[in-house]
Amino acid sequence: MGDWTDSHADNLAVRSASALALIAVGLSSVILGGPALAAATAAAAVAMSFEWARMSEPKTAPTGFAIGGAAAFTAVCAAAWGALAVAVAVVVLSALVSMVRLRSANKGAVAAFGIAYVAAPCVGFVWLRSTPDGLPLLLSMFAIVWASDSAAYFAGRFIGGPRLAPSLSPKKTWSGLVAGVTAAAAAGLALGQYHQGPWAAWAGVGATLGAVGLAGDLFESLCKRHFGVKDASSLIPGHGGVLDRLDSLLAVTTATLAVILAAPDAPAILFARTM
């Protein structure tokens, strides 16, 4: 068991309050869909674009943010209006502009990647909501990611043990990984029961997405370590930045989008919907 102090309790209280506020915003925007979802997703995309520019190019961050933020905002709005091709074109064009602007292969590649890393999952998230099973799909993604993140956090804090990747993130542990994947599988199993879909498939989906989400968390830690920063920003009390909070969801959204594009009938099977 880890040490428990008043400072830990205070941090957990702040972290929990911030998490509840984010959950409320996330759930309400996904349930309402339409302009509410577009506004919430665009706001998150702009905030993450700011954080990426702040980390990756501190000397020219305003310019990087102007391009990345405008690209993310425009692409999300285009996707919300059903113009997916326009959204993709905006992301690609903005990435190319960033590569030319910095006049450095390495810096240009980092800036271009940042635009795609932020904007593409946000565009995909809005598009997924518009699909026939969009609402239950996004709510299920939320449940799996939240179960995994919460279990990993508390297992790492209270159980501890060997570090998972100390060179990337000294606080992440193997116990957190096991707890996170297990909790995600359990969430998947519960979702399968609720939706009356194939339980084994749902448990597998939960475990897989849980692992993908934790990998996304580690990847963002790798980026922060590369840029020499502790947090993406301090926009969210107790959590750091928006990227720090949504890194798992970005990875899970990307993976879900890839699977659905490759196997369009997968949601209908999981949700036991007659095609």
Regarding whether 250 and 185 lie in a shared domain, the answer is yes
Bridge partner list, 240: 236
Regarding whether 267 and 176 lie in a shared domain, the answer is yes
Question: Which residues constitute the domain of residue 107?
Answer: 33-130
20 within some domain: no
18 within some domain: no
Contact 42, 73 (CB under 8 A): yes
Regarding whether 217 and 182 lie in a shared domain, the answer is yes
Q: What is the pLDDT of residue 13?
A: 78
Regarding whether 225 and 192 lie in a shared domain, the answer is yes
Regarding whether 146 and 117 lie in a shared domain, the answer is no
User: 27-36 long-range CB contacts below 8 Å, 24 or more apart?
Assistant: 27/139, 27/142, 30/129, 30/135, 30/138, 30/139, 30/142, 31/135, 31/139, 33/129, 33/134, 33/135, 34/80, 35/80
Kindly report, residue by residue over 153-163, the tens digit of the pLDDT. Answer: 889 888 878 88
44-61 residues labelled b (16+ CB within 10 A) or e (exposed): bbbbbbbbbbbbbbeeeb
Domain count, the chain: 2
Q: How far, in Å, CA of 67 to CA of 118, rounded?
A: 12
Q: What is the pLDDT of residue 153?
A: 87
Q: What is the pLDDT of residue 37?
A: 97
How many other β-carbons are positioned within 10 Å of the β-carbon of residue 71? 26
Kindly report, residue by residue over 102-155, the tens digit of the pLDDT. Answer: 877 888 899 999 999 999 999 999 999 999 999 999 999 999 999 999 999 889
Regarding whether 266 and 190 lie in a shared domain, the answer is yes
Q: What is the pLDDT of residue 4?
A: 34
Q: What is the pLDDT of residue 10?
A: 56
Tokens of 194: 């609720």
Regarding whether 164 and 114 lie in a shared domain, the answer is no
232 within some domain: yes
Q: Which of 90, 113, 130 is the last residue of a domain?
A: 130
Q: What is the pLDDT of residue 182?
A: 97
> Within the chain, which residues score under 70 in pLDDT?
1-12, 274-275
Amino acid at 261: L
Measure the CA angle with vertex 121, ends 103 and 91; round to 5°.
Answer: 35
207 within some domain: yes
Regarding whether 256 and 144 lie in a shared domain, the answer is yes
